[in-house]
Amino acid sequence: MVEIKKRVVNIKMFIDGEWKDAENLQTRPVINPANGEVISYAPEGTVADARAAIYAARHAFEAGVWSGISAQERASYLFKIADKIDEYAAELTELETMDNGKPLREAGFDVADAAACFRYYAGLITAPDGQTYHVADPMQAMVVREPIGVCGLIVPWNYPLLMSVWKIAPALAAGNTIVYKPSEVTPITPKKLFEILEEVGLPKGVANMVMGAGPVVGNEIASHPEVDMVSFTGGTKTGKHIMKTAADTMKKVSLELGGKSPNIIFADMDLELAVDYALFGIYAGSGQVCSAGSRILVEESVYDQFVNRFVERARKIQVGTGNDSSTEMGPLVSEQHLEKVLHYIELGKQEGATLACGGNRIVRDGLDKGYFVEPTVFIDVKQKMRIVQEEIFGPVVVIQKFKDEEEAIKLANGTVYGLAGAVFTNDGAKALRVVKKLRAGITWVNSYHPTYNEAPWGGYKQSGVGRSLGTFGLEEFQEIKQININLQVEPVGWFSN
Ligand code: NAD
């Protein structure tokens, strides 16, 4: 058991290079989800705070203190940030566990990934880009990529550090200035990250952080005319609101939203391995992962066998506090979210699904004040049920049966979401056939969850618009400019007089 320190003091916002309280001095308690204790108070930012951050970012952008320096210089800052993340890795890991609840080993992966993401974009921004075109003489046509301007970045609580870095690293690499808003539930590692940005000497106003409620601070970022682009990760409902709000000022929007991803298991797959991956697919992060394999589809000939083994192993998952090294699954992030997940479990029962295991809040000694839920499995579900259609975002999985490839694909694609999906089979051609038919942006064959800074991340359908990570993730934060140069100026000859 790692003894995690009890409190984090002095959470402030970072606006125009200074640490600030909310202008009206209001705060919001920050809770440790493992025990319900208040670990800090964060500023409850206002519209005025959001505007101050937006103006600081606008001023820094127009002054060219960031967009005007070379890509190599910007890259050198990003490399330094990555090095600092590594230097503070132990502290960041502990803070992430304390704030979000995830086990230390999960938080540790996130921190390492965050450093790697900064390095990736530091390298990418100095790689060749742009294009030239073979147009008729004497013209020369080319395309260059430019920063968009002021980018609003709004993130959720499930990966407080990593989701932030997926946006901050490419946005800064591209030369933008940013107004960033962490989730109100998890402001602690964001605060540490901004201390790092300050420590490496990022010019004033380039990176600004405002905390506070989504409908207040987030809404101001999405609607303000001085914000040129909004990149949002969160729920589909909020994403729709942001898209509508941003439309008034015709902002570019990039949306990473919810999912209800299918995990398809064919009978020819080694059953033990399929169960192993499927458990990881849903219960990693306590199911609070956008790409979680929350719908398992199993070929009917092995369905009963699969369910029995899956339930047997789900019951054995060690649920506990994130700082306990024997913990395999941590708590949910907040009391409010706990209530939402428990509500869905009740709903599943009312809809007529059979609870094969779990379904309860865990109130045993030591966990009774935290927000822990048993790994939960529903069977005998129908495609129309809300527990099959809607994102629960907790340790709750439905296991469905299919008779052939065609039915598997129909069920898999039968929700409004299209974020991720996986296929397990020993038949390579079948795997590719099925994956190609999945209406989803991220797919795996005989695996679940690996994610790479180098490869694009994002969803089809109502799971989002645009892509994070990879070259695509950088392009989200760039404008494309066409430049046409006349290499021999002569009269146009269009008008005779
Ligand atoms: P959420 O939509 O409630 O909140 C996300 C962020 O939006 C928060 O910072 C919140 O304060 C802000 N916000 C809320 N209302 C707003 C408004 N009216 N205007 C502007 N901003 C507003 O989501 P959450 O509960 O924090 O996170 C869970 C969701 O995030 C899940 O649906 C999950 O699938 C999704 N998610 C998606 C990805 C992905 O890559 N597709 C990754 C992680 C999480």
User: For residue 26, how far is its CA from the centre of ligand 1 (angstroms)?
Assistant: 22
pLDDT for the residue 305: 98
Burial of 174 (0-12, 13-18, 19+ CB in 10 A): buried
pLDDT digits (tens, 9 = 90+) for 401-443: 999 999 999 999 999 999 999 999 999 999 999 999 999 999 9
pLDDT (mean) for 244-251: 98
Report the phi/psi class of residue 39: left, alpha or beta, with left for phi > 0 and alpha for psi in -120 to 50. Answer: alpha
pLDDT for the residue 2: 67
Active site residue 87: no
Which atom of ligand 1 sits closest to the CA of residue 468?
Answer: 40
User: For residue 279, how far is its CA from the centre of ligand 1 (angstroms)?
Assistant: 25
Instruction: List, chain by chain if needed, residues with CB within 6 Å of any ligand 1 atom.
Output: 154-158, 163, 181, 183-184, 214-215, 218-219, 222, 233-235, 238, 241-242, 256-259, 290, 391, 393, 419, 459, 464
Helix (H) or strand (E) holding 95: helix 89-100
pLDDT digits (tens, 9 = 90+) for 155-172: 999 999 999 999 999 999
pLDDT for the residue 4: 65
For residue 71, which amino acid is it? A
Which atom of ligand 1 sits closest to the CA of residue 213?
Answer: 11
pLDDT for the residue 452: 97
Q: Which of 256, 299, 391, 476 is catalytic?
A: 256
Written as six digits, the tokens of 53 are 């951050």
Residue 338 has pLDDT above 80, yes or no: yes
Ligand 1 atom 10 nearest Cα: 214
List of domains in the chain: 9-257+463-482 (3.40.605.10), 262-445 (3.40.309.10)
pLDDT for the residue 97: 97
At 137, the pLDDT band (50, 70, 90 cuts) reads very high
pLDDT for the residue 199: 98
- Tell me which of 4-18, 81-95, 188-202, 449-463 is least confident: 4-18
Residue 1 has pLDDT above 80, yes or no: no
| Strand-pair category, 420-424 with 177-181 | unpaired
CA 53/CA 210 separation, integer angstroms: 7
User: For residue 234, how far is its CA from the centre of ligand 1 (angstroms)?
Assistant: 2
Please check whether residue 262 is in contact with residue 297, taking contact to mean a CB–CB distance below 8 angstroms: yes
Residue 5 has pLDDT above 70, yes or no: no
DSSP string, 156-175: -SSSTTHHHHHHHHHHHHTT
pLDDT for the residue 58: 98
Ligand 1 atom 39 nearest Cα: 256
Q: Residue length, the chain?
A: 497
Q: Which of 96, 184, 290, 475 is catalytic?
A: 290
Which atom of ligand 1 sits closest to the CA of residue 183?
Answer: 9
pLDDT digits (tens, 9 = 90+) for 70-122: 999 999 999 999 999 999 999 999 999 999 999 999 999 999 999 999 999 99
pLDDT for the residue 348: 98
Mutate to test the pocket of ligand 1, among 113, 158, 469 (most ligand atoms within 8 A of CB): 158
pLDDT for the residue 497: 87
Active site residue 151: no
At 3, the pLDDT band (50, 70, 90 cuts) reads low
Q: Please state, rounded to an integer, the average pLDDT across all residues of the chain.
A: 97
Residue 45 has pLDDT above 80, yes or no: yes
Written as six digits, the tokens of 37 are 């204790």
CA 264/CA 149 separation, integer angstroms: 42
Taking Cα atoms as reference points, which of 278, 271, 309 lies closest to residue 293?
278
User: For residue 325, how far is its CA from the centre of ligand 1 (angstroms)?
Assistant: 29
Computed over its alpha carbons, how large is the radius of gyration of the chain?
24
User: For residue 239, how far is its CA from the centre of ligand 1 (angstroms)?
Assistant: 7
Q: Which residues contact 237 (CB under 8 A, 6 or more apart)?
A: none
Please check whether residue 458 is in contact with residue 467, taking contact to mean a CB–CB distance below 8 angstroms: yes
Ligand 1 atom 19 nearest Cα: 219
Contacts 24+ apart (CB under 8 A), 234-237: 234/154, 234/155, 234/156, 235/156, 235/391, 236/391, 236/416, 236/417, 236/462, 236/463
CA 121/CA 173 separation, integer angstroms: 6
Written as six digits, the tokens of 245 are 């709000």
pLDDT for the residue 365: 83
Backbone phi and psi for residue 218, each to the nearest 5 degrees, phi listed first: -60, -45
